[in-house]
Copies of this chain bind each other. A is one copy, B any other.
Amino acid sequence: MAMNVRTLCLGILSMREATGYEIKKMVEDGVFSHFIDASFGSIYPALAQMLREGLVSVRAEEQQGKPGRKVYSITPEGRAALRAAVNTDPARDKFKSEFLFQMLFLDQIDPSHLAVIYDAYLEEQEAELARIEDCAGEIDEGPGAQFVQDYGRTMMTTAIRFLRENRAAMLDIFAEKAKEEAGS
């Protein structure tokens, strides 16, 4: 499946019309934030290209005080393209975690940083969970949205519990290392 920025924009536009700026915001802290990432540098060109191809249409809106905005809507051709993308087999999930990589080589980590890194990660996961809870009912509630939200909540809750339960053990290692270094 071609799950790139184009498909992402089509997906969002199939639910509601939006500007490039709004799409970025939705990706940042909406339901999508859990499993998608996109920057302005990819969203704007994608919308422009799809406009040329007729998959989306624009309506320019003047605003007082604020800069003008371009509100994009999906066209029937765009819906067809989204349907086509969604009906292909999904690619494998990719879970890229620098934190886990670091944990694998924690003997290389400066003892005074291990706790910092660990706690920062824990807090990040907690923030992610809060974000997921926050955007409950944000978009048209369909069974799919419900499923995705529940999935995200379940995974985040599990991760947080695991990190809390193993924190002591990980910091013991830190303490031992610090002792060794003090002793030598």
Q: CB within 8 Å of B: which residues of A? A: 1, 3, 7-8, 11, 14, 31-32, 34-37, 82-83, 86-87, 89-110, 113, 117, 120-121, 124, 142-145, 147-148, 150-151, 154-155, 158-159, 162, 166, 169-170, 173
Query: A103-B144, A154-B162 are contacts. A35–B87 as well, Cβ < 8 Å?
Result: no
Collect the chain B residues with CB atoms within 8 Å of residue A169's CB. 143, 147
A97, closest chain B residue (CB): B35
Other than A82-B105, A91-B98, A154-B162, give 19 A-B pairs with Cβ distance below 8 A.
Answer: A8-B101, A14-B108, A32-B104, A37-B94, A83-B108, A86-B102, A86-B109, A87-B110, A90-B102, A100-B151, A103-B144, A103-B147, A104-B144, A106-B143, A107-B142, A143-B170, A147-B170, A150-B162, A155-B158
Collect the chain B residues with CB atoms within 8 Å of residue A150's CB. 162, 166
Collect the chain B residues with CB atoms within 8 Å of residue A35's CB. 95-97, 100-101
Q: Quickly give the copy total for this chain.
A: 2
Could you tell me the dominant secondary structure of chain A's interface residues? helix
Q: Which residue of B110, B121, B145, B166 is within 8 Å of A104 (Cβ)? A: B145
Which of A100, A113, A147 has the most CB atoms of chain B within a 10 A radius of its CB? A100
Collect the chain B residues with CB atoms within 8 Å of residue A120's CB. 89
Contact A96 B36 (CB under 8 A): yes
Q: How far is the CB of A167 from chain B (nearest CB, A)?
A: 11
Collect the chain B residues with CB atoms within 8 Å of residue A109's CB. 86-87
Contact A89 B104 (CB under 8 A): no
Contact A117 B89 (CB under 8 A): yes
Contact B155 A103 (CB under 8 A): no
Which of A14, A106, A120 has the most CB atoms of chain B within a 10 A radius of its CB? A106
Q: How far is the CB of A115 from chain B (nearest CB, A)?
A: 13
